[in-house]
Amino acid sequence: MGILGLVGQTILLGIAAAFTPSLLALQILVCSGDPWRRRAAAVAVGGSSAFILVGGLLYFGFAQLPTSAGAPTTVAIALRLVAAVVLLGVGIVLLLPHPGLQQRTEHDVQGYVARASTWVFFWVAFALSIKDVSSFVVLAPALHDIAVSDVNAVVQMALLVLLFALALSPVLAPLVARLVLGHRADRAFQRIYRFTMDHQFQLIAAMALLICLYLGVTGIQMLLAAG
């Protein structure tokens, strides 16, 4: 894969990995209230820690594999096809009605904001991130392709920063918006929160099915090219 293809894939999969509605809703509620700075920082650090921990382990594991300068490797093909199957299952399950679970998720998020301490916000954000299987399934092929690419270390680091910045946008973007705009961001926060909570499972399902299609098609193309 060339550098432009690698950048494009990094952006696509980074955005897809950001589809964590409950984490976004939590950070929006935190940033909408007062006091908010320490709580928002705790959510950002908690969510980031989970992604960087798992993502870092995946990246350094993939980095031990041979550099892919030529034909696609078996690992690259397997990652894409397995990820496509997992995301297909996630998409199908989440398209089914889950009214009780959806309401319970929103109730839990609002409960955390109403009574949690700073440390609890850290651990809640960490837990919401670490159990977000679909995001890590999406990140795995991106991390693999960056780790085994023949680009230099500076470019690899830039791609990793881009990937994680996009994946962590649910905890970073509301914080930046509140810092820059103050309470002028509240109206937008309310609209985004309501839309996110009302369509949380549909949003994840749409992402899962779209990325399933991308990874499935590219995985089959790689399989045919390797054969």
Question: How far apart are alpha carbons 31 and 13 in whole angstroms?
Answer: 26
SS3 of residue 55 by DSSP: helix
CB 142 within 8 A of CB 163: yes
Q: Is residue 68's pLDDT more than 70?
A: no
Q: Residue 47's pLDDT is what?
A: 94
Domain ranges of the chain: 3-221
The per-residue pLDDT for range 27-59, each reduced to its tens digit, is 999 999 888 999 999 999 999 999 999 999 999
Instruction: Report the Cα 159 to chain-centroid distance in Å.
Output: 15
The per-residue pLDDT for range 167-208, each reduced to its tens digit, is 999 999 999 999 999 989 999 999 999 999 888 899 999 999
Q: Residue 70's pLDDT is what?
A: 63
Which residue stretches of 63-181 are H helix? 74-95, 99-115, 118-130, 133-147, 153-167, 169-181
pLDDT above 90 covers a percentage of the chain that reads 66
Question: How far apart are alpha carbons 189 and 31 in whole angstroms?
Answer: 9
In this structure, of 89-103, 115-129, 153-167, 190-204, the range with the lowest mean pLDDT score is 89-103
